[in-house]
Amino acid sequence: MGKITNIGILTSGGDSPGMNAAIRAVVRAGIYHGFKVFGIRHGYNGMIYNQIKELKSHDVANTIQRGGTFLKTARSKEFMTPEGMEIAYNNLKLNKIDALVIIGGDGSFRGALEFSNKYDIPCIGIPGTIDNDIFGTDDTIGYDTAINTVIEAVDKIRDTASSHERLFFIEVMGRDAGFIALRAGIACGAEAILIPEVETPIETLKEHLENGFKRKKSSNIILVAEGEKAGGAFEIAKAVEKDFKDYSVRVTVLGHIQRGGSPSAYDRFLASRLGVAAVEALMEDQRSIMVGTQNQQVVYVPFSKSVKAHKPIDPKLLELIEILNV
């Protein structure tokens, strides 16, 4: 590759609050440093179908506060074929794009790594996912907004749970990772948190609830990550309800409300910081890396690590749940 002059930017996979703020930061940082920046609509599909347009500073005005992604997003099976990648690369050449910034999760970064290796084009990743499950960064764009959405919903459910002395199982997103359930559960005072990383036998949960009833708790909130091994909120509720017939059991699935909404102040800040960092990484001849944060500092993490390594749950947070539910 020669000197970079034109940068393409796309959002891929699931949307998350703050993606627009990241796009805005890449566009304006790119222009500030003398690049042209091209928006690619509908993720990798947009590369295949040439949905590519240059973005000016005014194109990203009044977007920092908007949820979702104005570039739209998609998951592209076609891109992961040799024929799809070839078409995508030819369209990048047609538009004279010589570097890419990809906002998304580990699946998006896997595609970027393979594409970069095959066609020798620099690719920089910005972690955008509400799950916060990408190795190498303390936080991902959208995570803070998502947990605040969960907390707001649980606080409202707690009111009716207390009024009716009910046991609520609330399912949150996190098919493969329990970061949303864990942090939101601690913040809203959940009586128990079930996550896929830690197996919680039903009998252990029942014992925990029984102890709570003995302490005359008027309500119970159990947060369940959707990927929890026991089968999700509905299945767990059925298993528990059989032994607590005098207690009214209810299930609420928060679903996709966790993805939407105006991004929090922290997500806007994080997205802005990482968007600028992505452009600066290209200026430093970086490639096939993700820009993230560790201990409040921007770091570069190779795609090979971010997509292969597993981000662990902090065991001290699990201990915190036990302490706070005495």
Q: Find out whether 168 and 221 touch, Cβ atoms under 8 Å.
A: yes
Exposed e or buried b for every residue in 77-102, given b needs 16+ CB within 10 A? eebeeeebbebbbebbeebebbbbbb
**CATH code where residue 178 lies:** 3.40.50.460
CA distances from 311 to 15, 176, 262 (A): 20, 11, 27
Each residue of 36-60: pLDDT tens digit?
Answer: 999 999 999 999 999 999 999 999 9
Closest by CA to 42, choosing from 16, 87, 9, is 9
Contact assessment for residue 262 and residue 102, using Cβ atoms and an 8 Å cutoff:
no
> Residue 226 — very low, low, confident or very high, per pLDDT cuts 50/70/90?
confident
Per DSSP, helices labelled H in the chain are: 19-32, 43-48, 82-94, 106-119, 143-164, 179-187, 202-214, 232-241, 265-283, 303-306, 315-324
Task: Out of 131, 133, 139, 144, pick the active-site residue.
Answer: 131
Q: Do both 11 and 123 map to the same domain?
A: yes
223 domain residue, yes or no? yes
- Same domain flag for 125 and 156: no
Domain identity same for 13 and 138: yes
C-alpha Rg value of the chain to the nearest Å = 22
CATH number of the domain that 302 lies in?
3.40.50.450
* Averaged confidence pLDDT in the chain: 91
The one-letter amino acid at 262: S
Q: What is the pLDDT of residue 232?
A: 82
Are 76 and 138 in the same domain?
Answer: yes
Number of domains in the chain: 2
Same domain, 31 and 124: yes
How far apart (Å, rounded) are the C-alpha atoms in residues 182 and 174?
10
pLDDT score, position 153:
95
- Predicted confidence (pLDDT) at residue 262 exceeds the cutoff of 80: yes
183 and 129 in a common domain: no
Pick the residue with more confidence: 216 or 49? 49
Q: What is the mean pLDDT of residues 261-289?
A: 97
Same domain, 173 and 51: no
Q: What is the pLDDT of residue 10?
A: 98
**Taking phi first (over 0 means left), then psi (-120 to 50 degrees means alpha), and beta for anything else, what does residue 142 get?**
left
pLDDT digits (tens, 9 = 90+) for 134-176: 999 999 999 999 999 999 999 999 988 877 777 889 999 988 8
**31 in any annotated domain:** yes
pLDDT confidence of 95, banded at 50, 70, 90? Answer: very high
Through-space distance between the first and last CA atoms of the chain, rounded to whole angstroms: 60
Q: Please indicate, yes or no, whether residues 150 and 128 belong to a single structural domain of this protein.
A: no
Q: Give residue 307's Cα distance to chain centre.
A: 14
Are 27 and 64 found together in one domain?
Answer: yes
| Residue 136 near residue 292 (C-beta atoms within 8 A) | yes
Comparing C-alpha atoms, which of 53, 102, 113 is closest to residue 74? 102
224: confidence class by pLDDT, cuts 50, 70, 90: very high
Identify whether 311 is part of a domain.
Answer: no
Pairwise CA distance, residues 268 & 56, whole Å: 20
Query: Is 131 designated active site?
Result: yes
One domain, residues 247 and 290 = no
Q: What is the pTM assigned to this prediction?
A: 0.93
- Residue 44 has a pLDDT of 96
Task: Answer yes or no: is 83 within a domain.
Answer: yes
- The Cα–Cα gap between 314 and 295 comes to 15
Classify residue 200 by burial, with Cβ atoms within 10 Å: 0-12, 13-18, 19+: middle
Residue 317 lies in a domain: no
**Residues 149, 104 share a domain:** no
The answer to the question of residue 248 being in a domain is yes
Report yes or no on 315 lying in a domain.
Answer: no
pLDDT band at 210 (very low <50, low <70, confident <90, very high): confident
Band of the pLDDT at 209, cuts 50, 70, 90? confident
Q: In this structure, is residue 216 part of a structural domain? A: yes
Spatial contact of 165 and 217, defined as CB atoms under 8 Å apart: no
Full domain range(s) for residue 85:
6-142+263-306
Q: 278 and 255, same structural domain?
A: no
